[in-house]
Amino acid sequence: MNTPSPSAKKPAKTGGTRKAPVKRPSVKAVAKPVSVLIIGAGFAGLGMAIQLQQAGIRDIVILERADAVGGTWRDNRYPGAACDIPSNLYSYSFAQNPNWSRSFSGSGEILDYIHYLVSHFNLAPYIRFKQNVTGLNFDENAGLWHASIEGGDTVRARAVVMAQGPLSNAIFPDIAGLEKYKGHTIHSARWDHDYDFSNKRVAVIGTGASAVQIIPELVKQAGFVKVFQRTPGWVLPRPDFETPEWNKALFRKFPGTQDALRKALYVTHESMALAVIWNSPLTRIAERIGRLHLRRQVKDRWLRRQLTPDFRIGCKRVLLSNDYYPALQQPNCKLVTWPIDRLSEQGIRTAEGIEHQFDCIVFATGFDVCKTGTPFPITGLGGRALHDEWARGAQAYKSINVAGYPNLFLTFGPNSGPGHNSALVYMESQLDYAVRGIQKILDEDLKMLDVKADAQAAHNKAIQARLANTNWNSGCKSWYLTEDGHNVTMYPGFATQYALQMRTLDEADYRRTPMAGG
């Protein structure tokens, strides 16, 4: 694997005149409040720190619950883990990497890129590892957030950025008898690298984005693999190629060429919104490509039927794979579509009355995306609890602020999810917006910058009206929706529209309370 040596371009930022020295802020309760607390040291948290730093804000603490940076890419190290968006687009525009080894890089290479960000932008001094935040409370008299940390410490901060990541809490499926199974279990997001799969009988539960990457690798290693599928997803071909050396050299020598490729990829992905987000003639074409891919790779009619999705493409996450269908047809692999009844001591009982016995069960069952709550209690003005307010579905203003929780900025907040483009493109818009908000708080010495409830309500009314016409809300069950079918995760539009939405911080939509006499 190549060690990335990306060509970092320092974005020109204005307005940040603060010259705070980079020092290790203490995490003791008695310590002076910091300007910005960032929770999480994944792509979002580190990107936030870089952007704040570029804006001249260096009084930052990043609290990370694990002992390493990387977030999703640190946790998801299962065999075959890779990104579904081309690496030249799944990276920050202000820190491009000319050395990506493939068009869709693996998790190890992405993690290397994240480590590169830390070292190149000198972020290490900000980061505190093994600091698990257990609660956030806003002190409205002082205009400070108090972050409680497991073990008793507290960090106080003028502003907080939630960068804990939407895909950070692995979940196990709601299957009866889960505790009864006595064999080995592995969750895709907590891979057991010491487990030897050779000659083992392995079950994989789930056929989503992680599973289609894991299964081809497991089939190569294990004795026999049974894949338990509830709903087949749309699988499209993955145009994954090795990057020739001349290409890397070109990008290194003429960074403009990489910029041009990134822009071309961006526009291509934007056009995919027409197929994936809304029901259009392009949707039919995308579905036809999916069916052709299936027909070309699977000859058996019954297996093809089992793998044919019965929902509109885009309603659930679109999968990209060239080797998933061939892996399912290997002699040591079998697709099981019978409903799972329960887990027994030795395996999985399905409704056709058979107990499928295994040495190991791999749960590729995804994450708890916190659609109706918060990862830890967050208490805002007047003791209001965000968990309660979001009990029927999360909502925010422009995905980033929530009324009643001043000086709090969300990354990957409600209705910020892309279905067709790089999450990092959306992320950059959020980071820019948060920098503007935080600059305002610090420069104008605001005690509170709180979005108005009516502005938030108007924003959400418009978003929900637009979501009603999208493929995500066309009737399938997916992790994008709450139990009662409310879409709180996805942004119903182009990435360009989202960027426009985030380009201005409209002061009229905020209540500003100055520190003095506030």
Partner 1 sequence: MASIDLDKMLVKIKSSQWALADIDWDAPGADLITDEQWPKLKAFMADLMWIEHVGARAFAAMAKKAPTETLREIYTYFHAEEQRHANAEMALMKRWGMLDGDEIPEPNINLRLVIEWLDRYADEMPVYVLGTVVPMLEVALDGALCSFLLETVDDPVCHAAFQKINDDESRHLGVGFTVMEMQGRSKTFIQLTQMVAPLLDPRLILGIASYFPLLNKMRDNIMEMGLPEEKLYNAMRKFEKIGGRTADGRRNPWFQIISRHGRFVINRNNRFYHAPVDALVKVTQYIPRRALPAVPSWVKELTYRPAA
349 binds partner 1 (CB under 8 A): yes
290 binds partner 1 (CB under 8 A): no
Choose which of 8, 101, 175, 338 interacts with partner 1 (CB under 8 A). Answer: 338
SS3 203: strand
Question: How many binding residues for partner 1 (CB under 8 A)?
Answer: 23
Token duo for residue 149:
């940390």
352 binds partner 1 (CB under 8 A): yes
| 250, burial (CB in 10 Å: exposed 0-12, middle 13-18, buried 19+) | middle
CA-closest candidate to residue 64, choices 48, 47, 41 = 41
DSSP string for residues in 5-21: --EE------S------
151 binds partner 1 (CB under 8 A): no
351 binds partner 1 (CB under 8 A): yes
Each residue 442-481 as x (binds partner 1 by CB under 8 A) or -, in order, gives -----------------------------------x----
345 binds partner 1 (CB under 8 A): no
- Piece of 206-214, 266-274, 345-353, 459-467 that binds partner 1 (CB under 8 A): 345-353
CA-closest candidate to residue 274, choices 89, 119, 495, 473 = 495
In whole angstroms, how close is the CB of 355 to partner 1 at the nearest point?
5
SS3 147: strand
CA angle 216, 218, 223 (to 5 degrees): 125
Each residue 372-411 as x (binds partner 1 by CB under 8 A) or -, in order, gives ----------------------------------------
Given a contact cutoff of 8 angstroms between Cβ atoms, the answer to whether 168 and 75 are in contact is yes
In whole angstroms, how close is the CB of 346 to partner 1 at the nearest point?
8
Choose which of 16, 166, 206, 347 interacts with partner 1 (CB under 8 A). Answer: 347
In whole angstroms, how close is the CB of 51 to partner 1 at the nearest point?
44
217 binds partner 1 (CB under 8 A): no
In whole angstroms, how close is the CB of 302 to partner 1 at the nearest point?
4
User: Half-sphere exposure of residue 1, counting CA atoms within 13 Å on the CB side?
Assistant: 11
User: Half-sphere exposure of residue 275, counting CA atoms within 13 Å on the CB side?
Assistant: 21
356 binds partner 1 (CB under 8 A): yes
353 binds partner 1 (CB under 8 A): yes
483 binds partner 1 (CB under 8 A): no
Helix/strand/coil percentages in the chain, nearest 5: 30, 20, 45
- Piece of 52-60, 343-351, 363-371, 441-449 that binds partner 1 (CB under 8 A): 343-351
CA angle 506, 511, 514 (to 5 degrees): 115
Other residues' Cβ atoms within 10 Å of the Cβ of residue 177: 14
In whole angstroms, how close is the CB of 103 to partner 1 at the nearest point?
35
- Piece of 69-77, 163-171, 355-363, 388-396 that binds partner 1 (CB under 8 A): 355-363
Given a contact cutoff of 8 angstroms between Cβ atoms, the answer to whether 172 and 363 are in contact is yes
DSSP string for residues in 180-203: T--SEEEETTB--TT---TT-EEE
- Contact set with partner 1 (CB under 8 A): 300-303, 305, 310, 338-339, 341-342, 344, 346-347, 349-357, 477
